[in-house]
Amino acid sequence: MNETLPAEAHILIVDDDTRLRSLLERFLAERGFRVTGCADAAAARERLRVITPDLIVLDIMMPGESGLELTTALREEGLDIPVLLLTARGAPEDRIAGFEAGADDYLPKPFAPDELVLRIRAILRRMARPVAAEGPVQLGAAWFDPERGELRGPAGPIRLTSGERALLGFLAARPNVVLSREEIAAALGMADTSERAIDVQITRLRRKIEADPREPRFIHTIRGRGYVLKPGP
């Protein structure tokens, strides 16, 4: 399968640590990325009015609006640019909070710059990877077009984050097949992620396609095994 990453992918780095931000800007630029740096969420909002980066690297602990708050706000505003969160707090519950906010990945500090590059490239590959489902998939009144990665309901397009789009594409390519959390994590480039983080991503996707996410019709939990997508009217 051929995968094409954006040429000179544009990365927006948001971190109040001037030294770390400068180091990351230089490191990523040396590896072929275009890089824009911002010191806080307010500056990032200003930049996002005039640029559309391919990915945002966002520190959680910042003065004023935190990275979690900014991620939540961007998702509520319909911005689906991938977000990779950075934080000195790497406990499982902190990672879960990041995914619940709508982040695509989470990297605890301290980290090796090369690992950040690997994470960025994994997210960009995930976005570029074509989905193998054959034709549109019906989910009640909504339809998912795997070729475009587009979910449409009666009122028009339903916004998906890149993570939600990749997850739905992976499930739609294997309808009525039970997929373990490990398989899902590996397919989404989240192999080192906890099972709970996958559950959070499933919950977020259910909110987009299920009339009642507590009683799902399409994404079913198979206890002790994983999840299965059952398309239908």
Q: What pLDDT is recorded for position 2?
A: 41
Q: Quick check: 122 pLDDT over 70?
A: yes
- Distance, in Å, from the CA atom of 126 to the CA atom of 109, rounded to the nearest integer, reads 23
Q: What pLDDT is recorded for position 179?
A: 93
| Whether residues 122 and 148 fall in one domain | no
What three-state secondary structure class fits 152?
Answer: strand
In the chain, the number of structural domains is 2
Over the stretch 174-220, which tens digit does the pLDDT of each residue have?
999 999 998 888 887 775 666 788 898 899 999 999 999 999 999 99
Mean pLDDT for the stretch of residues 5-30? 90
Judged by average pLDDT, the poorest of 59-63, 101-105, 123-127, 143-147 is: 123-127
The pTM of the full predicted model, rounded to 2 decimals, is: 0.68
Q: What pLDDT is recorded for position 1?
A: 39
In this structure, what token pair is assigned to residue 156? 């028009």
| Whether residues 119 and 161 fall in one domain | no
In the chain, the percentage of residues whose pLDDT exceeds 90 is 57
Element (H, E) at 36: strand 34-38
| Whether residues 119 and 152 fall in one domain | no
List the CATH number of the domain containing 192: 1.10.10.10
List the CATH number of the domain containing 50: 3.40.50.2300
- What range defines the domain where residue 171 resides? 137-229
| Whether residues 179 and 205 fall in one domain | yes
